[in-house]
Amino acid sequence: MTRCVILLDHKFSAVVITETWTDNSTENLVNIPGYSKIIKRRKNKRDGGVAWQYNYIDSELAFQPVDELNQMNSSDFESIFVNIQTSPNPITVGAIYRPPGNNLKQFNDSIEDLLGKMRGCRTNFFLAGDYNINLLNYEYHRETDGFLKFDV
């Protein structure tokens, strides 16, 4: 994964990674040269799965974790957020992971709560990650259609 980012020959401002399957002894395997790393460890779970959430930020950019969003307690997804200082307004970047098989309606409700909080932050925001939703089912599955119709 790290090698793929390096080979792209493009410096992204932020890179989001989920499902790294790392623990304390293997975390250094996902270091990307030239980027700072923000990590959120999985709570009450064994290492594995999404053991960590990563937001990689270009080392030349000023950034800080968004405590209000990072302290959200949801059993429906795992997430980590940072504000990147840009002019004239900061940008909020969020990494989200929804484990497969979790209730999609509950996830949508939790995301709606999250979006409500983000709207109050007065920044542009980007949400990236692994939602484990088959988006091709939107015509036949109400919750998938609902996910696609969020008003951000």
Where exactly are the structural domains of the chain? 2-148
Burial of 118 (0-12, 13-18, 19+ CB in 10 A): buried
Mean pLDDT estimate for the chain: 81
Query: Average of pLDDT values for 67-82?
Result: 82
Amino acid at the residue 26 = T
pLDDT tens for each residue of 16-71: 888 777 777 777 777 788 888 887 766 656 543 333 455 677 888 888 888 888 77
Tell me the C-alpha distance between 108 and 64, whole Å.
27
pLDDT at res. 112: 92
Tell me the C-alpha distance between 72 and 80, whole Å.
9
Tell me the C-alpha distance between 82 and 66, whole Å.
5
Domain formed by 2-148, architecture:
4-Layer Sandwich (3.60)
